[in-house]
Amino acid sequence: MTERRPLAIVAGAGPGLGASLMHRFEAGGYDVVGFSRTPSVKMAGMDVRAIDLTDPGQVQGALNALIKEHGAPKIVVHNPARLVISGLEQTTIADFEGCWRATALSAAVLAQAVIPQMVRAGGGAFIVSGATASLRGGARFAAFASAKFALRGLTQSLAREFQTSGVHVAHVILDGIIDTDASRALHTLDPARMLQAGHIAETYWQIAHQPSSAWSHEIDLRPSSEIF
């Protein structure tokens, strides 16, 4: 009888960091499934499913089907975000709420659906992608920073509630621009000064497999050229 491979879920699976995470976990021996509101054609060949992460019914239904097939996941990554950069007067309330829903609400919906299942199955890792805006707000970043602040607070609360039940909850602050086709089109920054998605994914892999006597809750990643 073939032994069942453990399951990893990447929520917010896009062609940048999401794809790198899926490749890294698969290379490490996991069955990997991605969730995305609008799966990218650039991720053809990967198991990425169209899920609205702010809809509890959709998330629970997708997880129930996966757990029936694979068992509870050992690794779950929350990676979605909606970037809104605009002045206060130009930021609509719809954009403000949309940023919070995509960033913080989606994490709450995902955590509520999956963490109890992980606890019952013996534990695992729930890793959340943060940003510089998780720590400080900047001009024209009111919507994004407030959403990322909320996400960080949620992650701290989850860690304190579930770490004694065997679920390692970690928050990763990505301090810099990730090198993707989209970011190269928007920025003139030398790619050598950008975060490399594959290197970030390697760190997530290491966090997910830390021994329980030495867990990290929060870690920051930035290029060596980044001033902080």
Q: For the segment 41-61, what is each residue's pLDDT rounded down to a tens digit?
A: 889 899 999 999 999 999 999
Q: What percentage of the chain has pLDDT greater than the value 90?
A: 88
DSSP structure string for 45-90: TS-EEE--TT-HHHHHHHHHHHHHHH-S-SEEEE---------TTT
Distance CA(33)–CA(26), nearest Å, equals 10
Given this model, what pLDDT does residue 140 score? 97
121 lies in some domain: yes
Is residue 1 scored above 80 in pLDDT?
Answer: no
**3-class SS of residue 32:** strand
Given this model, what pLDDT does residue 2 score? 62
pLDDT tens digit sequence for 79-138: 998 999 999 999 999 999 999 999 999 999 999 999 999 999 999 999 999 999 999 999
pLDDT tens digit sequence for 181-212: 888 877 778 888 899 999 999 999 999 999 99
Is residue 73 scored above 70 in pLDDT?
Answer: yes
**3-class SS of residue 8:** strand
Distance CA(199)–CA(98), nearest Å, equals 30
Distance CA(108)–CA(53), nearest Å, equals 9
Give, in order, the Cα–Cα distances in Å from 223 to each of 52, 102, 215, 226: 32, 26, 23, 5
With bands split at pLDDT 50, 70 and 90, how would you rate the model's confidence at 4? confident
Sheet of strand 75-78, all strands in order from the earlier edge strand to the far edge: 48-50, 31-36, 7-11, 75-78, 124-131, 167-174, 218-221
**156 and 171 Cβ atoms separated by less than 8 Å:** yes
Tokens 């995305």 identify what position? Answer: 36
Which residues share a beta bridge with 10?
A: 34, 77
Phi-psi region of 21 (alpha: psi -120 to 50; beta: other; left: phi over 0): alpha
Which residues share a beta bridge with 102?
A: none
227 lies in some domain: no
Given this model, what pLDDT does residue 52 score? 97
Is residue 180 scored above 90 in pLDDT?
Answer: no
127 lies in some domain: yes
Q: Which CATH number goes with the domain that contains 99?
A: 3.40.50.720
Number of domains making up the chain:
1
**3-class SS of residue 165:** helix
51 lies in some domain: yes
Long-range contacts of 48-52 (CB under 8 A, 24+ apart): 48/13, 48/22, 51/11
184 lies in some domain: yes
Domain assignment of residue 141, given as a range: 7-221
Tokens of 142: 């009111």
Given this model, what pLDDT does residue 3 score? 79
1 lies in some domain: no
2 lies in some domain: no
Look at the alpha carbons of 99, 136, 35, 63 in this order and tell me if their dihedral is positive or negative. negative
pLDDT tens digit sequence for 137-156: 999 999 999 999 999 999 99
Distance CA(174)–CA(137), nearest Å, equals 15
156 lies in some domain: yes
First-to-last alpha carbon distance for the chain, in angstroms, is 52
